[in-house]
Amino acid sequence: MKKKILSVLLSAAMVTGLLAGCGSSAESPSTATGSGTASSSASSSDSKVKLKALFIAHPLTDDINNMKFIQEFADNAGVEIEWEEIWSDWDQTKPTRFASGDIPDLLFNATTDADYITYNGLFEDLTPYISADKTPNIQAMFDEEPDTLVLAKTLEGKLFGLPKFQGKWPGTNGVMFINQTWLDKLGLSKPTTFSEFEQVLLAFKNEDPNGNGQADEVPLDFNGWFGSAYSLSNMIGSLGIQLTNWGTDAYFAEDGQIKNYAVDERYKKLMKYLAKLYSEGLINENAITNDYSMFQSLSRGNEAGEALVGVVYGWEETDKFGNNLASQYVALEPLAYDLDGESYDPRWTYDYSGLNMSTNRVCMSAKCSNKEAAMKFLDQFYGQAASVQVLFGGITDGNVSEVGENSYKVNDPQDPAVDPGTWKWTHALADNGPMYIRRATQIQMTPDMDNALREREAYNTTLAKVGDSDYYPQMFMKYTEAEQNEMAVAQANVNNVTDNQWGLWLVGDADVDATWDEYVAAVNAAGLPRLLEIRQKAFDSYRNQ
């Protein structure tokens, strides 16, 4: 049940009527409903088991009734599905729906672990319905990827929400990109240390690397902070702190102990360094207030097609910089800290579990009158070819081609004006769907995914350092209801302190050295020691399984 981190890393690198008795599905003012059950002679047959299902969709996602492969799943399972699809405001609608018991037979992408506690008895424990005979695809996932079962089970060992596994995504979410074209023009090499990084940023600011005669270059940009994939807080890895799955709320593991870098002296050092860069005009002064769309837009340059950003985190080069500027950027390897005589073993954020696994992709109402038929339908999603279609779109729809045994090709968007990522989110359940994409399944990806995997080769050596004692498995850790309630209150109090302070330090409105001790005391008084105690208990329990 251990993570087998190195093998995972290597694997990633190799991938170039209400018969169910479940209540009504009344539409709230802030939701939209699909056009009804997809029409076909088979699906209207009286012999089919009729089920109702809800799907919480991405804003881009098409009407699920238009996805032929979903109808094929239903036909194979001998069921007829009446779909309700909601694109927005589910978090506001959900409490009323769940409190009233107004839910359909199946709920896709609609629940969290806390829902099973808060609405006890509303959802079915799926454990008795899963076996190699009845649900061979789901059982295969649990047998071959045991962490998916750990992820899905509650502290009491019940299984309400089925997870997904899409094991072709890379080992880290964010790449730190640097403009190689600018480096070449200025006769500079890629920086390897914090000191060199500062000098390169100064050159980007002062020496007009985009050549337009204007001081419009932004040496360094970022988005978000604690737990954000594209924040400068990720640079804490250079000081030997191993973040995992976006470093949620600044927690990390070190030598088997759960810590929080927001009160670690190494974070103090990082903030002093970043405050210095900001004072020198090297960090985008609007980054604190810019939303994600503004963050993306700046990286795509100006109207003349000239690059504006020197260094920035992102997912993939064409997504981040657009097709015209993508070739200018390359991945920057982890920087070494060299500022005060201290040295650390640089690390890089390890996100494989977060990128490839998540739980609660689908669950079942306890009122569903034909649970066996519902489970047969759900098992369809976890088939080999079926899972590829769930993620990328249907074979019948022309979005995926089967090119050999256990081998598939993701086709280019049928509309050349649409990028592959947008096309996927429009014509498939994409990352929001239940699926089991086997490690052995061969998939010819679209160019953007090929780019993403290639770019991350720069971090393979660093990511290989991750071990059990410094892997923080937050997504696998389990808590009691009392612990969850206590943590929610304490974490909110802690965040009120940490989230307000980093911006003051960065822009120079507060001195890091002068305010550090008072800040740490405030974080601890807000409840951090108790949070660390609860998390340590869950961490130890996970490791001892």
Tell me, rounded to whole angstroms, the distance of Cα 464 from its chain centroid. 20
CB atoms within 10 A of CB 87: 15
pLDDT of 421-447, one tens digit each? 889 999 999 999 999 999 999 999 988
Answer yes or no: are the C-beta atoms of 54 and 107 closer than 8 Å: yes
Phi, psi of 511 (to 5 degrees): -85, 130
Q: Average pLDDT of the chain?
A: 91
pLDDT of 231-286, one tens digit each? 999 999 999 999 998 778 999 999 999 999 999 999 999 999 999 999 999 999 99
Distance, in Å, from the CA atom of 96 to the CA atom of 117, rounded to the nearest integer, reads 16
CA dihedral sign of residues 516, 521, 526, 532: positive
pLDDT of 151-169, one tens digit each? 999 999 999 999 999 999 9
Confidence of residue 331 (pLDDT cuts 50, 70, 90): very high
Residue 397 has pLDDT above 50, yes or no: yes
Q: Specify the pLDDT at position 181.
A: 98
Q: Specify the pLDDT at position 14.
A: 36
Distance, in Å, from the CA atom of 197 to the CA atom of 149, rounded to the nearest integer, reads 43
Q: Specify the pLDDT at position 18.
A: 24
CB atoms within 10 A of CB 484: 16
Q: Using a pLDDT cut of 90, give the percent of the chain over it.
A: 84
CA proximity to 84, closest of 107, 116, 115: 107
**Token pair recorded at residue 148:** 């998916």
Tell me, rounded to whole angstroms, the distance of Cα 525 from its chain centroid. 31
Per DSSP bridges, beta strands 309-314 and 257-260 are unpaired
CB atoms within 10 A of CB 277: 19
Residue 106 has pLDDT above 70, yes or no: yes
Residue 523 has pLDDT above 80, yes or no: yes
Confidence of residue 47 (pLDDT cuts 50, 70, 90): confident
Element (H, E) at 27: none
| DSSP reduced 3-state for 323 | helix
pLDDT of 174-189, one tens digit each? 999 999 999 999 999 9
Element (H, E) at 314: strand 309-314
pLDDT of 130-155, one tens digit each? 999 999 999 999 999 999 999 999 99
Residue type (1 letter), 486: E
pLDDT of 306-322, one tens digit each? 999 999 999 999 989 99
Quote the strand ranges of 445-501, DSSP E. none
Q: Specify the pLDDT at position 45.
A: 55
Distance, in Å, from the CA atom of 353 to the CA atom of 253, rounded to the nearest integer, reads 16
Q: Specify the pLDDT at position 165.
A: 98
